[in-house]
Every structure is written in structure tokens, then in C-alpha cells.
Amino acid sequence: MSLIGKKKVTFPNEIRAGDYVQWRIPASQDVFGNSISSPDWSVVYYLRTNTGPIGATINSSAFNDGFQFTIASNVTATFTAGDWFYQAVANKSGAEKQTIYTGQFKVLESLEYSGTAVNYDGRSQVEKDLATIQAAIRNIISGGAIQEYKIGTRTAKKYELSELIMLEARYKAELVREKQAEMIANGLGNPRATFVRFNEAY
């Protein structure tokens, strides 16, 4: 179960397909300073994705003067892995409606399986691209022929060695930022005080 309520979080950063998810949001105010709080108001979260014609509608229940939300396991089990988006809409007696939060989150694939396990790659796209770049660099340095590697919208065959080395540095920096963001999301200390060590892959 994922429960978020100790700090102001408008929606979880990540959801694992098949997990039971709960989160809370506090009462807020409109642009004129009027309270948006329960029980006078209710909030609905609309979830959509670009991975397919899938969505979900999550209705609030009152929690003090704020709101609590629950997504059942059988609902998140239908979520496809990838980027998702949310819109939180506050309603008052059907007469007033305001969007109070919007954002993006990721759905992670469930590792549960029955029968024989199939291949699984849990690396982020940045990690995959970095590994591809390093493989291309290794081939050039060893004198081998560059295979058809896909990096973004171009293939590794169209990169010079100097370009690949610059790309490697850029992707390493991007991976550090990605790991720091994960630490912030998980409340794991000060990410700026954490260093990610990379072993040379060539």
C-alpha cells in the first residue's frame, strides 16, 4: 500500500500497477481566498495516459477539512506502464467547479507473475540510452564495426566518437538528476550530498 499524508503531496510520483494507493490533500483556497474544503466541496481526480485508451476517475472522501483518495488494487492492475497525467477538479454542489491541481506521474510495471517469468528491464530510459552510448564507444575504441544503435532520434552509426563522449557526459549528468529526484520523492535525505559513482565502461 502506498500512503501519502505526512507532507503536502497532490499525487504520488509513482504507482506500481496492482498496488493499493492512498493519498490526502489539505483544504486550499481559490484566487479570492475562499476556502475549498470538505464537507462543502468534493474533489475528483481524472487520470489519463498516452499509452492507450485508459483512464480512471477517483472521488474524494472527507478527511478533517481536507480530502482523502483511494485507488483499489484491481484498478491500478489495469494501468499500463509509462507516463500518466492527472487533473484534480474541486466541485461545490455542482454549481462551482475549479481545477486545483494538474501534474504527471509514472506507472511502474508489476513484477508479479504466474508460471514462467519473462525478461524484465527495470532501467529508466536514461539508463538504457547511457548503456547504448557506452557500448558504441567501446566498439569504436576496440576497432570494431559500430552496430545499429538507436539513441534518441538518431543511430550510433551517425555519431563521431567525440559526439558520443559528449553524449555520455550529458546522460551521466541527467542520470544523477534522475536519481536525486527519486531520493527527494522518497524522502531520503539531501540528494545534493549524495554522489553517484560511474565505472568506466570502456
User: Among 45, 78, 108, which residue terminates a domain?
Assistant: 108
Q: How many domains does the chain have?
A: 2
- Is residue 30 domain-shared with residue 80, that is, in the same domain? yes
User: Of the candidates 65, 53, 59, which has an alpha carbon nearest to the alpha carbon of residue 26?
Assistant: 65
The verdict on residue 118 lying in a domain is no
| Residue with more model confidence, 147 or 4 | 147
Kindly state the DSSP code that residue 157 receives in the 8-state scheme. G
Classify residue 92: in a domain, yes or no.
yes
| Per-residue cell: 137 | 564507444
What would the pLDDT profile of 54-100 be if each residue is shown by its tens digit? 999 999 999 999 999 999 999 999 999 989 999 999 999 878 899 99
Considering the domain architecture, whether residues 44 and 131 belong to the same structural domain is answered as: no
Rounded distance between C-alpha atoms, residue 164 and residue 52, angstroms: 34
pLDDT band at residue 169 using 50, 70 and 90 as cut-offs: very high
Are the C-beta atoms of residues 140 and 202 closer than 8 Å to each other?
no
33-37, 138-142, 162-166, 191-195: segment of lowest average pLDDT = 191-195
Residue 185 domain boundaries: 125-193
63 is a domain residue: yes
Task: Determine contact, residues 106/15, Cβ cutoff 8 Å.
Answer: yes
**pLDDT in the model for residue 29:** 87
Structure-model confidence comparison of residues 180 and 48, the more confident one: 48
Query: Average pLDDT of 12-23?
Result: 93
Which residue, of 47, 77, 108, is where some domain finishes? 108
Distances (CA, A) of 65 to 9, 38, 57, 86, 95: 16, 5, 21, 22, 20
pLDDT in tens, 120-148: 787 888 888 899 889 888 888 887 666 66
Indicate if 101 and 152 belong to the same structural domain. Answer: no
When pLDDT is averaged across residues 101-112 and rounded to a whole number, the result is: 90
**54 lies in a domain?**
yes
pLDDT at 114 over 80: no
Q: What is the dihedral of CA 87, 90, 91, 95, to 10 degrees?
A: -90
